[in-house]
Chain A
Amino acid sequence: MSTPSIITAAETETPDLHVLERPPQVLNNRGPLWVTDAVCSIVEGKTPLWWYAAIAFTGTFAAIGGACILYMICTGVGVWGSNSPCFWAWDITNFIFWVSMAHAGSLISALLFLTRQKWSLSISRAAEAMTVFAIVCAGVYPAIHIGRVWFVWFLFPVPNSYGMWPNFLSPLLWDVFAVTSYLTVSSLFWFAGMIPDLAVLRDRATTKVRKFAYGIVSLGWLGTARQWRHYEMMYVLLAGLTSVLVVTVTTIVASDCATSVIPGWHATIFPFYFMVGAVYSGSAAILTLLLPLRLIYPQLRDLITPSQLDKVCKLLLMMGSCVAYVYVFELFNAWYSANPFERGAFWERFTGSCSWYAITCLSINLTVPQLFWFKAVRRCLPLVFILAILCNVGMWFERFMIVTSTLTHDFLPSSWGNFHPTIVDILTATGTLGIFFTLFLLFIRFVPIMSMNELKAVLPGTQPHAGAGHSNNSTEETH
Chain B
Amino acid sequence: MSNFFPRWANWLPLQLLVCGLVIGGPITLGIWYYFTPKYTRVGYQPDQPVPFSHALHVKQLGMDCRYCHSFVEVAGHSNLPATQTCINCHGQGKILPNSPRLAAVRDSWETGQPIPWVQIHRLPDYAYFNHAVHVNRGVSCYSCHGAVNEMSVVYEAESLSMKWCLDCHRAPENFLRPPSEIFNMNWHPASPEAQRELGTKFKEEWKVNPPVNCGGCHR
Contacts and interface: CB of A to CB of B under 8 A. Distances in A.
A399 interface: no
B167 interface: yes
B109 to A, nearest CB: 42
Interface of A: 160-164, 202-203, 208, 211-212, 215
Interface in B41-68: none
B5 A163 contact: no
A222 B161 CA distance: 56
A67 to B, nearest CB: 30
Interface in B98-144: none
Closest 5 CB pairs between A and B? A163-B163, A215-B4, A163-B166, A162-B162, A161-B161
Contact of B5 (A160, A164, A212): A212
A332 to B, nearest CB: 40
5 contacts: A161-B159, A161-B161, A163-B170, A208-B6, A211-B4
Interface string B1-39: 100111001000000000000000000000000001110
Contacts of A211: 4
B163 A160 contact: yes
Contacts of A215: 4-5
Contact of A202 (B4, B37, B161, B165): B4
A202 B2 CA distance: 11
Given A162-B163, A164-B163, 10 more contacts: A161-B37, A161-B162, A161-B163, A162-B161, A162-B162, A164-B162, A208-B6, A212-B9, A215-B4, A215-B5
B13 to A, nearest CB: 10
A163 B161 CA distance: 9
B152 to A, nearest CB: 29
Nearest to B167: A163
A161 B39 CA distance: 11
Nearest to A208: B6
B156 to A, nearest CB: 15
Contact of A163 (B1, B6, B38, B162): B162
A212 B163 contact: no
Q: Does more than half of chain B's interface fall in helix, strand or loop, or is it mixed?
A: helix
A160 B166 CA distance: 12
B4 A212 contact: yes
Contacts, number: 32
A163 B166 CA distance: 7
A203 B3 CA distance: 10
Q: Which of B1, B5, B159, B167 has the most CB of A within 10 A?
A: B5
A106 to B, nearest CB: 31
Contacts of A212: 4-6, 9
Contacts of A164: 162-163
A162 to B, nearest CB: 4
Nearest to A214: B4
Q: Which of A162, A164, A215 has the most CB of B within 10 A?
A: A162
Contacts of A208: 6
Contacts of A203: 1
A206 B217 CA distance: 65
A208 B36 CA distance: 48
Contacts of A163: 161-167, 170
A208 B4 CA distance: 8
Contacts of B170: 163
Contacts of A160: 163
Interface string B162-188: 111111001000000000000000000
A254 B62 CA distance: 65
Nearest to A163: B163
A160 to B, nearest CB: 7
A211 B170 CA distance: 59
Contacts of B163: 160-164
A161 B32 CA distance: 10
B133 to A, nearest CB: 20
Nearest to B35: A161
A202 B161 CA distance: 54
A161 B38 contact: yes
Q: Which of A160, A161, A162, A208 has the most CB of B within 10 A?
A: A161
Contacts of B1: 203
B159 to A, nearest CB: 7
A416 to B, nearest CB: 25
A385 to B, nearest CB: 41
A212 B161 CA distance: 50
B164 to A, nearest CB: 8
A208 B166 CA distance: 58
Nearest to A160: B163
A408 B58 CA distance: 62
A161 B5 CA distance: 46
A198 to B, nearest CB: 12
A212 B38 CA distance: 48
Contacts of B5: 212, 215
Contacts of B9: 212
Contacts of B167: 163
A203 B9 CA distance: 18
